């Protein structure tokens, strides 16, 4: 069965801390891995990773993929209260026939306290 596992499930830090969120996966015919940030409403897209070892960076957020060990990490440096959210990892893979779909992990709930 295709699965995406995120850890930790929840994390509480203080402003200014650095956090690392983990995502491991077991899927057939992997194509890409995506990170989303979900506050109270719609998940918003952060990164799409397709190649191992190439870091994607956006401000204080960065992410990298290891296709050999089947995992990805999302780093947030100098955290701010506005980073508080659920961070979702999703893997795009082949699903029955020729269609690709996204399988999501359960998410990591990050709380940044002032």
Partner 1 sequence: NAGVMQNPRHLVRRRGQEARLRCSPMKGHSHVYWYRQLPEEGLKFMVYLQKENIIDESGMPKERFSAEFPKEGPSILRIQQVVRGDSAAYFCASSTQGMHSPLHFGNGTRLTVT
Region from 19-27, 51-59, 71-79, 87-95 binding partner 1, contact rule CB under 8 A: 87-95
Name the phi and psi angles at 75, rounded to 5: -105, 140
User: Site residues for partner 1, window 41-70 (CB under 8 A)?
Assistant: 41-45, 48
**Beta-sheet strands, E only, within the chain:** 3-7, 10-14, 19-26, 30-38, 43-49, 56-58, 61-66, 71-76, 85-94, 100-104, 108-113
- Residue (58 or 114) nearer to partner 1, CB: 58
Q: Does 7 bind partner 1 (CB under 8 A)?
A: no
Distance in angstroms (rounded) separating the CA atoms of residues 107 and 53: 23
CB of 73 to partner 1, least distance (A): 18
86 vs 9: CA distance, rounded Å: 9
111 binds partner 1 (CB under 8 A): no
Per rule CB under 8 A, is residue 23 in the interface with partner 1? no
Q: Which residues bind partner 1 (CB under 8 A)?
A: 4, 31, 34, 36, 41-45, 48, 88, 90, 92, 95-96, 99-107
């Amino acid at each position: 069965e295709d699965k995406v596992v995120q850890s930790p499930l929840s994390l509480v830090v203080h402003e200014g801390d650095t956090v690392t969120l983990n995502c491991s996966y077991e899927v057939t015919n992997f194509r890409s891995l995506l990170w989303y940030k979900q506050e109270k409403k719609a998940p918003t897209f952060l990164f799409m990773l397709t190649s191992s070892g190439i870091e994607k960076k956006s401000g204080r957020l960065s992410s990298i993929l290891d296709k050999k060990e089947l995992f990805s990490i999302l780093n947030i440096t100098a955290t701010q209260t506005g980073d508080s959210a659920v961070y979702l990892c999703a893997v795009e893979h082949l699903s029955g026939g020729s269609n690709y779909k996204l399988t999501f992990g359960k998410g990591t709930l990050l709380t940044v306290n002032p």
